[in-house]
Amino acid sequence: MARIVMKFGGTSVADLDRIHVVARHVKREVDAGHEVAVVVSAMAGKTNELVGWVEKMPTVAGAGASFYDAREYDAIVASGEQVTSGLLAIALQSMNVDARSWQGWQIALKTDSTHGAARIDSIDGDRLIERMSQGQVAVVAGFQGIGPDGRIATLGRGGSDTSAVAIAAAVKADRCDIYTDVDGVYTTDPRIEPKARRLPRVTFEEMLEMASLGAKVLQVRSVELAMTQGVRTFVRSSFEDPDAPGMGDFENPPGTLICDEDEIVEQETVTGIAYAKEEAQISLRRVADRPGVSAAIFGPLADANINVDMIVQNISEDGAATDMTFTVPSGDLERAVTILEETKGTVGFDAIQSEAGLTKVSVIGIGMRSHTGVAATAFKAMADRNINIRAITTSEIKISILIDGAYTELAVRSLHAAYGLDRK
């Protein structure tokens, strides 16, 4: 007998039929004698709809920022998970599986005060363990917890993955299964490259990079938590027959295991390609070249919670001024430019140029640590397709390239082929 946390994403609980299929997956594990906690997302598209409603609301004049009240945003967008947790509990009960739904505040999943992108501080695992040991399935609403102000707080988009891994750590689960609409982690998004291959295993480090560089199959924080808490995490499909052979295999369930490097026998140089659309580039022309300038530019952007990514600073030819180029999410471009214009007096620059609609494509692999020429292959692949590279950043295990958004698919496929990742 083991303890398993099973998480089901939006497409897996998209309607009542799908919720019944999910219930059958859960029943399979219960019938095998395991203790089970389930984490659910909202129905596919629901959270987008809720966010859309909030964004259409008028903002409060004089609130300091032209932004809605984040506590009310959370109260609204967390509601999708309340519905699916209740529906799944009923579906399980109808199959004679003892089940009860739990909201974030009830279990209690406590978060910090960053409404809209809260981090988990603690979870009362003992109460869940007690329920589970009585044979009751706990169906937990993902994506939400309770902040220090006693109000609902959400964990950022895609946050149910993080709820699941955190709950798995809190109840000391033997496994955390993330069920989604693909049967594992692929060499790249299978939706844009049908030749992508499923990876039987992927290291925590690579998964962390893939997730932070755009592969939304797992939320970044869920991977961080799985890594630091040692949670055995599988990505697998809810769209397969729940009772097909092997689905209940405890040691080797179908899917992708996220694991330590030493659990991987043959490590490729490059493991995958990720992409992030909707990037924007900002260039500051002729910035004064003196100490403190970067702090004066990036400090106010950080204070406004704008995530600055790739940064390129040119050498200054005359020793007096230089150009500074960096990227921000397209959605933050307008705010960023406004803030930068306000700093013009203290920083001192000639002009701001900006462009939205760009894409960052990234090549990821821990094998890069010990292989040379990996970056050159990427540059050649872009050159062969006549794709212009706007900026480059690298780390030990990844290379990221900024390109025009129109070339996203072409760039991903070209890189995928250039590193021999295509399905044979």
Interacting residues with Mg ion between 9 and 38 (CB under 5 A)? 9
> 72: which 2 tokens?
């009310």
Exposed / middle / buried, residue 253 (Cβ in 10 Å: 0-12, 13-18, 19+): middle
Give Cα 106 to chain centroid, integer Å: 25
Smaller CB separation from Mg ion, 222 or 400: 222
Q: Which of 160, 212, 281, 359 binds ligand ASP (CB under 6 A)?
A: 160
H-helix segments, 32-116: 46-56, 70-77, 79-94
> 358: which 2 tokens?
């760009």
Burial code (b: 16+ CB inside 10 Å, e: under 16) for 355-383 equals bbebbbbbbbbbebeeeeebeebbeebbe
Phi, psi values for residue 223, rounded to 5°: -70, -40
Is 11 a binder of ligand ADP (CB under 6 A)?
A: yes
Of 154-162, 234-242, 262-270, 296-304, which part binds ligand ASP (CB under 6 A)?
154-162
Q: Are residues 171 and 125 in contact, defined by beta-carbon separation less than 8 angstroms?
A: yes
For residue 47, the partner it binds in ligand ADP, ligand ASP, Mg ion, none, with Cβ less than 5 to 8 A by kind, is ligand ASP
Write the CB contacts of 283 (distance below 8 Å, at least 6 apart in sequence).
323, 324, 325, 352, 353, 354
Burial code (b: 16+ CB inside 10 Å, e: under 16) for 149-165 equals eeebbbbeebbbbbbbb
Site string for ligand ADP, 38-67 (x = CB under 6 A): ---x--------------------------
∠ at Cα 317 (344, 342), nearest 5°? 5
Site string for ligand ASP, 83-112 (x = CB under 6 A): ------------------------------
For residue 189, the partner it binds in ligand ASP, ligand ADP, Mg ion, none, with Cβ less than 5 to 8 A by kind, is ligand ADP
Is 189 a binder of ligand ADP (CB under 6 A)?
A: yes
Q: Which of 10, 147, 184, 255 binds ligand ASP (CB under 6 A)?
A: 10
Residue nearest to ligand ADP (CB): 9
Q: Which residue has the tokens 């909707």?
A: 278
| Angle between helical axes of 79-94 and 16-31 (0-180°, round to 10) | 60
Site string for ligand ADP, 336-375 (x = CB under 6 A): ----------------------------------------
Is 147 a binder of Mg ion (CB under 5 A)?
A: no
Of 104-112, 179-187, 318-326, 376-384, which part binds ligand ADP (CB under 6 A)?
179-187
Is 158 a binder of Mg ion (CB under 5 A)?
A: yes
Annotated binding site for ATP: 7-10, 180-181, 186, 191, 216-217
Which amino acid is located at 239 in the chain?
Answer: F
| Interatomic CA distance for residues 107 and 100, integer angstroms | 12
How many chain residues interact with ligand ASP (CB under 6 A)?
A: 13
- In the complex, minimum distance from the CB of residue 29 to ligand ADP, in angstroms, rounded to a whole number: 18
Q: Which residue has the tokens 């099973």?
A: 6
289 to each of 232, 298, 299, 322, how far by Cα in Å? 49, 15, 17, 6
∠ at Cα 53 (50, 57), nearest 5°? 140
Site string for ligand ADP, 200-239 (x = CB under 6 A): ----------x----xxx----------------------
- In the complex, minimum distance from the CB of residue 153 to ligand ASP, in angstroms, rounded to a whole number: 13
Is 145 a binder of Mg ion (CB under 5 A)?
A: no
Interacting residues with Mg ion between 273 and 302 (CB under 5 A)? none
For residue 197, the partner it binds in ligand ASP, ligand ADP, Mg ion, none, with Cβ less than 5 to 8 A by kind, is none
Q: Which residue has the tokens 């992927």?
A: 202
CB atoms within 10 A of CB 147: 22
Smaller CB separation from ligand ADP, 110 or 201: 201
- Residues forming contacts to ligand ASP in the complex (CB under 6 A) are 9-10, 41-42, 47, 80, 142-143, 157-161
Residues contributing to the site for ligand ADP (CB under 6 A): 9-12, 41, 158, 180-182, 185-186, 188-191, 210, 215-217, 272
- Chain residues binding Mg ion by CB under 5 A are 9, 158
